[in-house]
Structure 1
């Protein structure tokens, strides 16, 4: 999701001074352990793309065979003004993936967040007509997808178009164009690169009602004769929710709709939640020490609970490796995670497989063991 350009920047800046700490060459890696099952990816930030975060870059190259961009391909970054594109960071992102022979994901083309207000207005500040906004969407997708044709392997075409009950989110895209903006976006992306995988991406698809909405989107795209290869389930999870059965059911039912499944933004929040199970970036919670209980390190029992949770989830992904094509962690180390500053700023979060110093956590070892069972 994510969105969160300022959040990601705060997390990223903290990693600048970390030294390169390469792993022993004979140590097991995520990408090699699951090579015959699915890709294992990481979402990477600007310092990693530019080479400023040498520790992060080392881990990315050693551990992962797929990358997703946190922010550099989002509309506000790559197309900040009418008729003005800035491909500087996006080009570096794609070059990084090509240099290291990685599967490159494009994230994202159409979303209600991190899209500049001008996109939905004419030169007098009035709301665009349906036809004008469709043209603007077409031109953006055609330009961006076309630039990376044959280089980016999969695009998150539309991001987070659903409410929690599975109905259509009342975004500017939906209000001006109508529900068919999704089909149109997929059509434009396919026309720009007929060989690229096209994905619908959303969070909380473990919820049956929201999952039904995603399946309806798949059906509408297919009925229009437009290809959709994947549904991306973001999987921003907690230690105790959603249930493992819900995660299993999500993969099973999405695959039954005739698509493959990607786990696109996996992390596990071990900190208290006062806002329910959501990944809505508009949520903003006031700081409270009770919501940041581990500022000086994660207790051993919570560390082990995190390891078990990761192992249980990867066991489900492994079980469904015939339909799960990619599992992407949303970040590289705990230091980089967006959860340090969302939805509460200044917390110390522990949601990933590598700690703040880039060392593998017990969860890393627990995940590797899944493939040997």
Structure 2
């Protein structure tokens, strides 16, 4: 009997080990989602230059795609007209190539984080339309040509449409009207005909924005101008938007024969003074009641946060044929911009890796989603 008991114990242990091995057979997000869509993250300067080695280790292991968080924005690439600074973006692209990643450039035309000279003449007045066109073309051509064949996709135009569907009254719009968007896409395509081109925006589930962005896509296609996808910045919280709203937006955009990119995903647990927003110009003063979790999250909030991530990824997997990539906006909680937006100095927990560079339980659960039949 003793020998039988020992044999049964050995068999039980073997089965247990095999089961455990099966559950953890895919040890990273990028391996788990490789047959579904690219899984990516945004990279900051410390990561690009290797001074945040712990984050770099996570990026290399977990992600198949990277996007430049800031270093490819025009104020950094061309601070003075005709004077380009490519040191940081070169390092970013080299990191992606070395690690065989799908590299995304962000962003070519955006009203924010843009050098002051772009819209003004020597007297400080708005430039004429033809001058702005030339400046747009020169900037886009120089940047895209430098990384031709290396950067695989570009956020060509960023955040040009308001939630009600109207055009943002940026200088691009005031000087060139709606035409600035087709111009930007054409300039980018001319510089690299093989690169994928995207329109990117936040709160993209709003009905007015869906209507106008879809019209932009249709207009570009009707004129034979390349557009491959709509970037849906997923700066979401625990309540908004609903999964149903988000699914409807995905279906609306992709009905125009383009893919969707989930471009800037994080799930904030903190209260917002106005609901969801990603307009970096919107700030409110610090208030302690807006920063309730300075010592960590209560268990019920952790559960709600995990379920929110799982619900979104279930949606992404459901529509994987329509989704090109899912990109987190940052690697760890301590580096997330949500700690300072829209209220500076808060403590948020929006990303799957914590302040100690450890994977939260959600990472394993997201991996397990791909293993479910």
State the SS of the aligned residue for 1:89: helix
Q: Which has the higher helix share?
A: 2
Q: Which has the larger radius of gyration?
A: 2
Superposed, which structure 2 residues align to 1:220-369 within 5 Å? 220-369=219-368
**Secondary structure at the counterpart of residue 180 of structure 1:** helix
Provide the rounded CA distance (Å) in 1 between the counterparts of 2:258 and 2:26.
34
* Per-residue Cα deviation, 1:184-232 (whole angstroms, up to 9, x for no partner): 0000000000000000000111112211111011011112210100100
Q: Tell me the SS of whatever aligns to 1:181.
A: helix
8 A Cα contact 2:272 2:342, kept in partner: no
Q: Deviations over 1:128-179 (max 9, x none)?
A: 0000000000000000000000000000000000011011111000000111
Look up the match of 2:52: 53
Q: 1:365 offset after TM fit, Å?
A: 2.3
- Return 5+ residue gaps in structure 1 as ranges: 1-24
Q: TM-score, normalised by structure 1?
A: 0.92
Cα deviation, 1:265-323, whole Å, max 9, x if unaligned, reads 00111001112221111111100111111111111111111111001100000011101
Tell me which residue corresponds to 1:6. none
Find the counterpart in structure 1 of residue 6 from structure 2: none
RMSD of Structure 2 on Structure 1 (CA)? 1.1
Answer whether contact 1:304 1:363 (CA < 8 A) is retained. Answer: no
The TM-score with structure 2 as length reference comes to: 0.92
Alignment correspondent of 1:4:
none
Structure 2 residue runs without a partner (length 5+): 1-23
Mapping of 1:1-373 within 5 angstroms? Answer: 28-373=27-372
| Residues 231, 261 of structure 1: 8 Å contact kept | yes
Offset from partner CA, 1:76-133 (integer Å, 9 cap, x none): 0010001110000000000000010000000000001001111001122221000000
Structure 1 distance, partners of 2:320, 2:254, is 11
Secondary structure, counterpart of 2:178 in structure 1: coil
Cα distance in 1 for partners of 2:313, 2:226 equals 28
Is the Cα contact below 8 Å between 2:26 and 2:367 reproduced in 1? no
2: distance between equivalents of 1:72 and 1:211?
A: 29
Q: Is the 8 A contact 1:310 1:366 kept in 2?
A: no
Higher relative contact order (CA 8 A, sep 6+): 1
Distance, in Å, in 2 between the alignment partners of 1:178 and 1:212 is 18
CA contact (8 A) 1:304 1:362 kept: no
